[in-house]
Structures are given as structure tokens and as C-alpha cells.
Amino acid sequence: MTVRSPRLFAGLTAAALLLTGCGGATQSPQPTASGKLKVVASTDVWGDVAATVGGDEVEVKALISGGGVDPHSYQVTPADSAAVKDAGLVLFNGGGYDDAIGKLVQPGAVVIEAVKLGEPAAEPKDDHGHSHGPGEHNEHVWYDFDAVSKVADELANRLGGLKPAAKAKFTQNATKFKDEIGALDKRVHAFGEANKDAKVIATEPVAANLITHAGLRDVTPEQFSKAVDEGNDPPAAAVAELEKLITGKQAVVLIYNPQTESGVTKQVRAKAVAAGLPVVELTETLPEGKNYQQWMSAQVDALAKALPKK
């Protein structure tokens, strides 16, 4: 079973807050020896976006990286606390995804919480901070290109406030980045229009925003999706319902998140392969050697190729 609950953060978060200090004056973040702004991002995904907008004016540290890491179950460390305290700007996802890192931020710090820039407004959440249900806007907002573009604009604005002499450079970098994201968005619309309302299933709702934006229908049983997202084994009835969708060829593709892999999800994948259902892996963190645009482009292409040709 993959552990996902943000509640696991609580103990170490409290310890980290003790290390950083609660209340009182906040120490002004110091630039690097080369004069670069220190930026801390919760994940390598947001770290890459920050580095793209900040360019050579920033030094970015991502606290969570690597395809073998599940950000939901990441436990903060004293080193993370020190990095956040020393940062000029902190960028985290929010929405119940990496809130332990957000809680390390000192009063008065410059902070961007990506989920707050997403549209629509946050859905009602369960007690783990997650939205659930096929097609709902959820906390995995890096799969929402509109939200990512807004984060880029906010980065340019906030970094420009910290380093006014480089404001025009930040704005230019953000504009170029948004143009590339816009091109990706057009590709999503293109394959979405060709496959409008096509049914898909997913082992975990990491790409729910992308699925919704493309006009596809996620028919994954809600109890299955919710359980995996929270790190629990899905009820037997939900597993049986999902497997029936596969064997009955009621969906055109299985979207698989290898970072939340369990015995049950492996079983579902095996059923899909046996039934001839295409499997597309969509992940939570950046593959080594790729930036956000390259990663998303490859994933969009993989999903497009897996859908029926019309």
C-alpha cells in the first residue's frame, strides 16, 4: 500500500517549526554570493517553473525530486526548514498536497501557493485536503495549463518586486514560457475534440485536470480513486467494478501513476494489458534530464497516441 495521507507530515512539521522558530521577527533572506535570489520550491516540477521564469537571476532548490518519490508521503527535514527560512521566495503547491512545506514559511515571507491560482475555486475537500470524483478540479494543478501560466505570471511579479532591476527579464521569461504552454494547450484541445467524451480510467487522479480540460470522461469508480489517492487499498467492490470496465472494454485508455503503485494497481494494469487496453503513465515529478515543457509534451503526446484514431 502506498502511503499518501498528509497527516503523516504532522509530527515532523511540528519539529521543523520548532527549528525555524514560531513568531518573532523574520530574518531577511540573504542573496547568494553571486547576487542571485534564493528560491525554494516544494517539488522539482514547481522548481523548474521557477527556474525558467527566474533564469540566471535565481538559485532554485526543490525539496522533493525524483520519480521514485511520492510527494504526498514526503517527510520534511531540518535541512528543508533551514532552506525555507533562508529563501527569498517559496513556491509550493498547496491544496493538501505539500502543505507541510507551506507551514515552514516564516511570517512576512514571499510565498506563492499554486493551487490558489487555479480555476475554478477550490472544491470542497475531504479531511485529507483532497477533492475527489471523476472530472473534478483537484490539487494536482501542474496538469492545469491555465493555472501553471498564472503561476508563471505571479513568479515574474513577485521576483520583480524582490529584484526590480531584473523585472523586465522575469516578465520576458514568463511570456516565453506561457507561449510554450499555450502551444501544449492547443494540442490537448485538438486530441480532445477528436475524442470528445471518450471514457478513460485512472489508477489515481493525478491528471484529473488534464483529463477534464481535454473533454475526456473519467469513469473510474470514485471509491477506487479516493482510496488510492489517500494511500489505502480500494474496497473489493470498487476493484471489481473497475476491472469490469476494463474487461468489458468500457474505456479507451488506462492512465497509470507509477508513483502510487501498489499490488492492486499492478493487478489493474495487468488486466488492462491482457485486455489490449492502452496504458499511459502520467507522473507527479520530473523525469531526470527534462524540463516541465518537455515532460508535459511527452505525456500529452503519449495520451494522444493512445486514444482511438478518428
How confident is the model at residue 32, as a pLDDT?
A: 62
Using the predicted structure, report yes or no on whether residue 125 has a pLDDT greater than 70.
Answer: no
DSSP 75: -
- Of 10-14, 95-99, 230-234, which range is least confident? 10-14
Using the predicted structure, report yes or no on whether residue 212 has a pLDDT greater than 80.
Answer: yes
- Rounded-to-integer distance, Cα 21 and Cα 37, Å: 23
14 and 70 in a common domain: yes
Residue 1 domain-assigned (yes or no): no
Q: Which residue has the higher pLDDT, 31 or 174?
A: 174
Instruction: Output the DSSP codes for 221-247.
Output: -HHHHHHHHTT-PPPHHHHHHHHHHHH
The CA-based angle 160-164-169, given to 5 degrees, is 60
52 and 177 in a common domain: yes
Using the predicted structure, report yes or no on whether residue 203 has a pLDDT greater than 90.
Answer: yes
Q: Nearest CA to 44 among 6, 2, 93, 88?
A: 93
129 and 110 in a common domain: yes
- Rounded-to-integer distance, Cα 246 and Cα 196, Å: 20
Residue 210 domain-assigned (yes or no): yes
Q: What is the CATH number of the domain that holds 234?
A: 3.40.50.1980
Per-residue pLDDT of 262-302, as tens digits, reads 999 999 999 999 999 999 999 988 988 999 999 999 999 99
Number of domains observed in the structure of the chain: 2
Query: Alpha helix locations (H) across the chain?
Result: 10-20, 44-54, 78-86, 99-102, 145-162, 167-194, 208-214, 222-229, 236-247, 263-274, 292-306
96-107 average pLDDT score = 86
149 and 41 in a common domain: yes
How confident is the model at residue 65, as a pLDDT?
A: 85
How confident is the model at residue 229, as a pLDDT?
A: 82
Per-residue pLDDT of 1-41, as tens digits, reads 343 433 333 333 333 333 333 333 344 555 666 789 999 99
71 and 213 in a common domain: no
258 and 285 in a common domain: yes
